[in-house]
Amino acid sequence: MNRISIAIIAHNEATGIGQTLASVEWADQIVVVDCDSNDATAEIARDAGADVYHEPNRDNLNINKNIAVNHCNGDWVMVLDADETVPDDLAGEIRVVVNEGKHDGYLVPRRNNVLGRGLRHGGQYPDWQLRLFRRGCARFPEEHIHERIKVDGRVGRLKHYFHHYPYRTVDDMTRKGRFYAEFEARYLFNKGVTISSVGLIVKARIFPALRFVRRYVLKGGFLDGVPGLVTAYFDAWNQAVRWLWLWDLQRHESLREETA
């Protein structure tokens, strides 16, 4: 029987990581990389039987995800976020496929739960994630925060989904949205991407409005009630803010050069 390791990184996830860990008690090993938490995250993970390691809370989360994978000793690895859980039916499917040997990695459908509701529309489901892979066959590229695991080999798909609880409150959405928007803006800035005043109108106003209409109306986000509305709104807001942030970074750089 092939052994399965779970790889998790966490920063101040004391309120929810217990639920995540309880959902993967069936695994042969659980690795938690604690990223400078100042709450009880590490203690909760250790009490749950996880192998706990400590790393700085790097902006590019994928660096720490690779570190977590490196600490795994199972034949197969499943990468989870600290706000995700694995239902019993998916756990059973995983135990079957890792012993079949048909593929080297698997895309797993993810169901996003926002403000207490599991979303089914608006492009939110199935939110395919490549999370399960044979150890040694996959890594995160570490270039961008939203890059997915690259697998060297055959990739299949699983039937059952896992749960994601990214936004339990509106405060979660604003706080995390700010983090991702700033990261994206600085990433673009460091890559030399620039934006003009006209481009700002298009990318920070017109495109986000079109994105909202596509997700909320055309893809049926309205069918998910208020959580569907809020999700579509914050998705568009995030798109707008990243370009505004990039414009502001350019402005400060120009002022710095003028006064140098």
Q: What is the pLDDT of residues 19-51, one digit of tens each?
A: 999 999 999 999 999 999 999 999 999 999 999
Q: What is the pLDDT of residues 70-115, one digit of tens each?
A: 999 999 999 999 999 999 999 999 999 999 989 999 999 999 999 9
| One domain for residues 193 and 108 | no
- Assess whether pLDDT exceeds 90 at residue 131: yes
Based on the number of CB atoms within 10 Å of its own CB, is 228 exposed (0-12), middle (13-18) or buried (19 or more)?
buried
| Residue after which a domain boundary falls, among 151, 166, 181 | 166
Q: What CA–CA distance (Å, rounded) separates 86 from 23?
A: 5
| One domain for residues 60 and 188 | no
| One domain for residues 200 and 246 | yes
Contact criterion met (CB below 8 Å) for 29 and 74: yes
Domain count within the chain:
2
| Residue after which a domain boundary falls, among 128, 143, 166 | 166
| One domain for residues 56 and 119 | yes
| One domain for residues 11 and 135 | yes
Greatest Cα-to-Cα distance within the chain, rounded to the nearest angstrom:
66
**What's the pTM value of the predicted model, to 2 decimals?**
0.91
Domain that holds residue 76: 4-166
pLDDT score, position 253 = 86
CA neighbours within 13 Å on the CB side: how many for 185? 24
pLDDT score, position 260 = 66
| One domain for residues 173 and 135 | no
